[in-house]
Amino acid sequence: MIHLTNVTKTFDRFQAIRKVNMTVQKGRIYGLLGSNGAGKTTLLKMMAGIIRPDHGTVLIDGEEVWENPEVKRRIMFLPDHVYFFPQTTIEQMAAFYESVYPSFHRERFTRLQELFLLDPRKKIHQFSKGMQRQAAFWLAFSTMPDVLIMDEPLDGLDAVVRQKVKNIIVQEVAEREMTVVISSHNLREMEDLCDCIGILHEGEMLFEKELDAMKTDIHKIQVAFRNGIPKQFTEQLDIVYKEQRGSVLLLIVRGEKQEIVSYIKTFQPLIFDILPLTLEEIFIYEMGDVGYAIENIIV
């Protein structure tokens, strides 16, 4: 389990992370979302023991990560820009990983070659960007990490490789309860992959929730009435966003679906649709709630 308590990080005088609490259960896939500059990379680097927090604790299975080689051997961090030693081949990097990570699995490394289709004897800097990222995944999966932390990891991979990588992640989580933290701006992909979502904004955790619970708690509603919108109609709704288009009222509403349906039906609407929100829409409206401009974004 990963557990962050009151984590704060300041660069010069700029507070990039403010009192963040975050929990990732073992064997779960946690999606860390946030606007540009929200602090995702900074937070992931603290989780991986690369940056030291100014205050607060970052624990993995109860142990502090910072300057703790025992814990760090069980973690694999994939940064947004992958790095290899200059002039090395995948095979040479594998030998290095083998010397550093006791869990490195030689057989698995050989087996994964069928999936990644890269020449392990070729210098990595001669590969394309996407191929270098594939090499990073190949090496990472070969170390059999207990905790995999990834910063926008699938960017630059083609659709086939993306699917292969996602399949391996899901399989590793199911088979040996690997714990995964992943940051991405591709919310559709996160929606498929993650069990739990945390939204970071200006260095603060807005909220973290199970994805399923998040989706059953917020709804998109289209409603129209024969003689215009009744006066008290919106009074008892927890409205996140409201827009009127002609006679149709578009609403984003929080709450339990059945209660909302029963309430709206008492006003005998002419048109009434209630739809779940995608993760992308939830993100947009949650960000709207904290002052991100979201006018005319509804579809």
Ligand X SMILES: Nc1ncnc2c1ncn2[C@@H]1O[C@H](COP(=O)(O)OP(=O)(O)OP(=O)(O)O)[C@@H](O)[C@H]1O
- Binding residues for ligand X (CB under 6 A): 11, 14, 16, 34, 36-42
Nearest to ligand X of 142, 183 (CB atom): 183
Query: Least Å distance between CB 46 and ligand X?
Result: 10
Nearest to ligand X of 9, 164 (CB atom): 9
Query: Least Å distance between CB 215 and ligand X?
Result: 23
For the record, the structure tokens of 2 come out as 């990963």
Nearest to ligand X of 41, 179 (CB atom): 41
Q: How far apart are CA 203 and CA 196, in angstroms?
A: 19
Query: Least Å distance between CB 176 and ligand X?
Result: 29
Are the C-beta atoms of residues 153 and 2 closer than 8 Å to each other? no
- For the chain, the three-class secondary structure string (H helix, E strand, C coil) is CEEEEEEEEEECCEEEEEEEEEEECCCCEEEEEECCCCCHHHHHHHHCCCCCCCEEEEEECCEECCCCHHHHCCEEEECCCCCCCCCCEHHHHHHHHHHHCCCCCHHHHHHHHHHHCCCCCCEHHHCCHHHHHHHHHHHHHHCCCCEEEEECCCCCCCHHHHHHHHHHHHHHHHHHCCEEEEECCCHHHHHHHCCEEEEEECCEEEEEEEHHHHHHCEEEEEEECCCCCCCCCCCCCEEEEEEEECCEEEEEEECCHHHHHHHHHCCCCCEEEEEECCHHHHHHHHHHHCCCCCCCCCC
Nearest to ligand X of 41, 142 (CB atom): 41
Nearest to ligand X of 37, 230 (CB atom): 37
Nearest to ligand X of 47, 118 (CB atom): 47
Nearest to ligand X of 16, 253 (CB atom): 16
Query: Least Å distance between CB 291 and ligand X?
Result: 17
